Amino acid sequence: MPSGTSNPAEMYGIVRGPGSHWIVALTRNGIHANRTFSFSKWGGHDAALASAQAWRDAFVRNHPQPTRQELATRLRSNNKSGIPGVIPVYGPDGEIRKWKAQTYSSANNDIGKAIWHPLWTIDNCRQHRATANFSRQRN
């Protein structure tokens, strides 16, 4: 497919290689799957494509995509609060002043649009109380 053009559903994860082969390349939950289907080895253009699609379909069945909830509640490696979606807001002195909560919503077809929730201040309370407040409201 030309650059910037989406593949049709039957070609998901499959591209034509620079030679006489199809390439299947997928990633699910950190698992990378790459396989090449040569026209000569698989009995021609159409047979190689059918084999590539069958292999891709088996991989997708065995490794389902994570749900939006699983992605939103996954703790990222750069998270400083220990709570998914909660990040610190630093003051000019470099100290944490507030905590900001973020999640993603698909409401009104705004897939991937960030929704920011209110800030909880650290003034007169400890940092863990602010993050606990957010956790209680999320559940």
Q: What pTM was estimated for this model as a whole?
A: 0.58
Task: Name which of 92, 91, 93, 75 is nearest 83 in CA terms.
Answer: 75
User: pLDDT tens string for the chain (139 positions)?
Assistant: 566 777 788 899 999 999 899 999 999 888 899 999 999 999 999 999 999 999 999 999 999 888 877 877 788 787 777 878 787 888 899 888 887 777 665 555 455 555 555 555 555 445 556 566 666 665 5
What are the residues whose beta carbons fall under 8 Å from the beta carbon of 127, sequence distance 6 or more?
96, 99
Helix (H, G, I), strand (E, B) or coil at 70: helix
